[in-house]
Amino acid sequence: MTPTTHDPGAEFDRQVSNLVERNYPALAGLSQKEFTAQVTPLRHTAVNAGAAGYEPGTGRVPFLLVVTRQVVPIEQTMPRTTLHGKPKPGFVDHSFEPGALERFVTTKQTELPDQRAYLLLDIDRGEEFCGVVPNDAMATIASRGRTMLTIEEGIALITHFPEILVKNKCFSLGGSRTGDRRVPAIWISQHAPKLGWCWEGNPHTWLGMASAGTRQAAM
């Protein structure tokens, strides 16, 4: 299982090391030192957030270090995910036609505090919405003052906490849309994480809707 800590500074350091181990600096065209220097200012934000430690099995995470597609493309970050304890890399489903991923952008309601890297706070994979029509789930989340996750945030979630993605508790990512009825989602296929999409009006018993409390840039 992912190491747990109630020390947000130590947890932030773990997430940075996790990205370095997955070759994010080279993919971003940076040295390890340059990459670390870019994200390190967020450590102060993480410490000040005072988030509690991660509790395995709850589907909730206090914070995530998110690196956007402006730094490393989705096509390169998704294959660096795995299921917990499994070696097979994640993949982007072929149902995304050529150029489709570029059109799945953050919605007007989803404001990023930084276009390169930031912290996502109070994340919930949203299994309460399994079996709920995605449109209805998104409306409920918005009414609570919470925000849907983007594609990059969903990838960050399973990159830092692979055990979050389990059978019958997968999740949609309503923070990235392309102007049609498709809602991106991450679920399990062929014994690996898969980034695909489902229709906004079609419920699935195994697919919830992930959300978060807020996003914060470096202080």
Taking residues 174-191, what's their average pLDDT?
A: 97
pLDDT above 70 for 175: yes
What is the distance between the alpha carbons of residues 12 and 47, in angstroms, rounded to a whole number?
A: 8
Q: Give me the residue spans of the domains in the chain.
A: 8-216
Other CB atoms within 10 Å distance of the CB of residue 69:
21
Report how far Cα 132 is from the mean position of its chain's Cα atoms: 20
**Quick one: pLDDT band at residue 7, thresholds 50, 70, 90?**
confident
In the beta sheet, which residues pair with residue 212? 147
What is the distance between the alpha carbons of residues 212 and 190, in angstroms, rounded to a whole number?
A: 28
Taking residues 176-192, what's their average pLDDT?
A: 97
Give the model confidence (pLDDT) of 100-139 as tens digits: 999 999 998 898 998 999 999 999 999 999 999 999 999 9
pLDDT score for 29: 97
Give the model confidence (pLDDT) of 32-62 as tens digits: 999 999 999 999 999 987 656 677 678 999 9
Mean of all residue pLDDT scores within the chain: 93
Other CB atoms within 10 Å distance of the CB of residue 9:
12
pLDDT score for 137: 98
Taking residues 10-23, what's their average pLDDT?
A: 96
pLDDT score for 57: 78
pLDDT score for 129: 98
